[in-house]
Amino acid sequence: MDDGKPTGPQAKWWSRPTTGRPGRAEPESRALGEDTPPAPPGAGDPAAPGSGADPSHPTASAPDHPAAPADAAPPGAGQASHRPRPSGAPLHEPDAYSTPPYGDPGPWAPAPPVQRPTPAHGTPVPPQAAAPSPQHPSPVPPPTGVQGGPAPVQPHPAPVQPQSQQHPTALQQQPAPAPVPAQWGQYDPWAAPGQPLTQLGPPAGTEPGRRKNRRGGAFAGVLLLTLVASGIGGGVGAYIERNGGLTTVELPQASRTTTDRAPESVAGIAASALPSVVTLHVSGTAESGTGTGFVLDNRGHILTNNHVVAPAGTTGDITVTFSSGETATAELVGKDSGYDLAVVRVRGVSGLKPLPLGNSDNVQVGDPVVAIGAPFDLSNTVTSGIISAKQRPITAGGEKGDGSDISYVDALQTDAPINPGNSGGPLVDTQAHVIGINSAIRAADSGKGPERGGQSGSIGLGFAIPINQGKRVAEELINTGRATHPVIGVTLDMKFTGDGAKVGTKGADDGPAVTKDGPAAKAGIRSGDVITAVQGQRVHSGEELIVKIRAHRPGDRLELRLTRGGEELTITLTLGSSSGT
272's enclosing H/E stretch is helix 266-273
Q: How far is CA 407 from CA 321, 439, 507, 556, 576, in A?
A: 27, 10, 21, 21, 19
Among 272, 423, 458, 541, which one carries the catalytic annotation?
Answer: 423
- Count other C-beta atoms under 10 Å from residue 526's C-beta: 13
**Which run of H or E residues covers position 238?**
helix 208-243
C-alpha triplet 66, 71, 75: angle, nearest 5°:
100
User: CA 427, CA 412: separation in Å to the nearest integer?
Assistant: 10
Among residues 301, 307, 433, 552, which one is catalytic?
307
Q: Please, what sign has the CA dihedral across residues 493, 498, 501, 503? A: negative
Q: Where are the beta strands (DSSP E) in 429-520?
A: 434-441, 462-466, 484-487, 501-502
DSSP string, 284-303: -SS-EEEEEEEE-STT-EEE
Helix (H/G/I), strand (E/B), else coil: 531: strand
Beta-carbon count within 10 A of 319 CB? 15
The region, left, alpha or beta by phi > 0 then psi within -120 to 50, assigned to residue 202 is: beta
Please tell me which residue in 104, 336, 340, 493 is annotated as part of the active site. 340
DSSP letters spanning 166-191: TS--PPPBBPPPPPPPTGGGG--TTS
* Strand 501-502 to 530-534 pairing: antiparallel
Q: What angle do CA 468, 470, 475 make, to 5 degrees?
A: 100
**Half-sphere exposure in the Cβ direction for 495 (13 Å, CA):** 2
- The vertex-55 CA angle with 49 and 59, nearest 5°, equals 105
Classify residue 525 as exposed, middle or buried by CB count within 10 Å of its CB (0-12, 13-18, 19+).
buried
Contact criterion met (CB below 8 Å) for 282 and 311: yes
423 counts as catalytic: yes
Contact 110, 99 (CB under 8 A): yes
d(CA 36, CA 309): 127
The reply to whether 340 belongs to the active site is: yes
Helices (H) then strands (E): counts for the chain: 6, 19
Catalytic positions are 307, 340, 423
